[in-house]
Structure 1
């Protein structure tokens, strides 16, 4: 089993429930497990009745389980401040204010959230040596897939920027100070060094996502969720990412034969329809259905979380981290 496990799917399908249950399952099997939520609603805190923030915290009542919640707004703000600091150290004071204005405008545009969260994802993965398993409760499918598409595009973009910067520094410095000093300036140039660091980070992300990560799609037995899953799987497969299987969540239970009345009739019809859709899911998708989880009446936490954990047929085997 891969070290990094992602649960994706459209909003509202129950990714937090499933990822939390899988985190509990890994911990029960003796794996030091970190559960990472990117849900702005902070549902992980609700599941465990415990507040989490962006630092790993031991989950009360569970051995070997830690959790953290990444706040998208805070991550965008942190990302913006980091870029401002980096740029302020590398440009003349006369244009610092204008650059800061441009950075603030950029962080209000579509994609700023994905860029900030992507950096944080990478940071968590790079500093996870002490954990056997890291489970990500990801954002809804569209945002997640845009996030995962970034490494390949950004590596190429950074290569072009670096080449242009080297050419610019080389020509300017040769004209000003001579060939030998120009080579030294190239080695010490803060912008080139910054671009090189970013490229290494994206290379790490692409390599790790393709070689050490598995993706599971959570869906409900409804038409919209099924169609969204088709699109998500196509994009994941095209990106060369490993899809471990499908988790069908919130499936209506079947009423007992002796149950009658309007409510029982409705539930029986809904169960029949959803069973047909479940069969469609098993037939249409190449990826296996690894779990079918029934709809619960109340919020999934405590004993109900333990029940869902037992229903989750996803392998937890992993080698311990290397010393």
Structure 2
């Protein structure tokens, strides 16, 4: 399996349980493992009965497993403030308020949230050399797909911005009397430098996502979840991203054969419907089914997490080295 493993799926399907179980299985296989939660609900703390923040923290009682929880709102705010500082340094004092207003408006538009999270993803991937495996408990499918599409989209956008900036500086040079100051601007233009740095970061992310990452989709055995999963597979495939498997979560246990009554009849009907969906997942979806996890009565934590980990047929082998 590759170093970075992303667990995605429709909201509420149980991504945190399955990703935490896989991270536990990786750590039990002597891989130094980090699980990263980007879900605003931050259920990772609930699964391990331990509070985490945005710095890697050792999971109590599990050797080789660290966890961190990224707060999407805090990341968006941090991204906003960094952008304000960077832009304010490049404009006159009279323009600072207008720049601040424009940036505030930009961060309320679709994509700002994903852009901030992508920056944090890149930082984690760049700084995680000490780990053999990084497991991402991602946000629901729609947001995740927008997040994963950003490198390809922004690479072209940044290229165009850099080209426009170069043209503007070139025109300024031609209009200036003498070329000392304009040439100094072209050689060390801070805005161009920032754009080129951003482009390199997103190119790095694109390479990591395509060449050093695998995706597992968590799905419940119901029609809505199957539809969402099929769309996710198609879209991930269109980006050249590697979907390794489908983890089917929350299967209904079948009642014993001697059980009768309304409850037992309901469960049998439910099981029959779920088996039809499970058969469809096995037969008409491209990625293989890598887990069939029954619903537990109790919350999945502690020793129950080990039982879920044992039900995952997902490769935990040490990843081979890959080029950046």
Tell me which interval the TM-score lies in, with the shorter structure as reference length.
over 0.9
- SS of 1:135's equivalent in the other structure is strand
Q: CA deviation at 1:241?
A: 0.4
Trace 1:1-323 onto structure 2 (pairs within 5 A).
1-176=1-176, 178-179=178-179, 182-319=182-319
Q: CA deviation at 1:179?
A: 4.7
Cα contact 2:133–2:319 (8 A) shared by 1: no
After TM superposition, the structure 1 stretch with the greater mean CA deviation from structure 2, 226-235 or 169-178, is 169-178
Q: CA deviation at 1:175?
A: 2.9
CA distance in 2, matches of 1:13, 1:181: 59
Change (3 A) 1:136 1:177: farther
- SS of 1:90's equivalent in the other structure is coil
Q: CA deviation at 1:260?
A: 2.1
CA distance in 1, matches of 2:172, 2:273: 71
CA offset digits 1:59-89 (Å, max 9, x no partner): 0010000000011110111010010010011
CA distance in 1, matches of 2:212, 2:320: 14
CA distance in 1, matches of 2:32, 2:287: 28
CA distance in 1, matches of 2:229, 2:7: 12
Cα contact 2:253–2:271 (8 A) shared by 1: yes
Q: Report runs of 4+ in structure 1 exceeding 3 Å deviation.
A: 177-184, 319-322
After TM superposition, the structure 1 stretch with the greater mean CA deviation from structure 2, 15-24 or 152-161, is 152-161
Q: TM-score, normalised by structure 2?
A: 0.96
Q: CA deviation at 1:154?
A: 0.7
Q: TM-score, normalised by structure 1?
A: 0.97
Cα contact 2:2–2:320 (8 A) shared by 1: no
CA distance in 2, matches of 1:159, 1:122: 19
CA offset digits 1:185-234 (Å, max 9, x no partner): 21200000000000000100111100000001100000000000110000
CA distance in 2, matches of 1:166, 1:109: 27
CA distance in 2, matches of 1:16, 1:287: 20
Q: CA deviation at 1:19?
A: 0.3
Q: CA deviation at 1:107?
A: 1.4
Stretches of structure 1 lacking an aligned partner (at least 5 in a row):
none
CA distance in 2, matches of 1:243, 1:178: 57
Change (3 A) 1:242 1:160: same
Q: CA deviation at 1:177?
A: 5.1
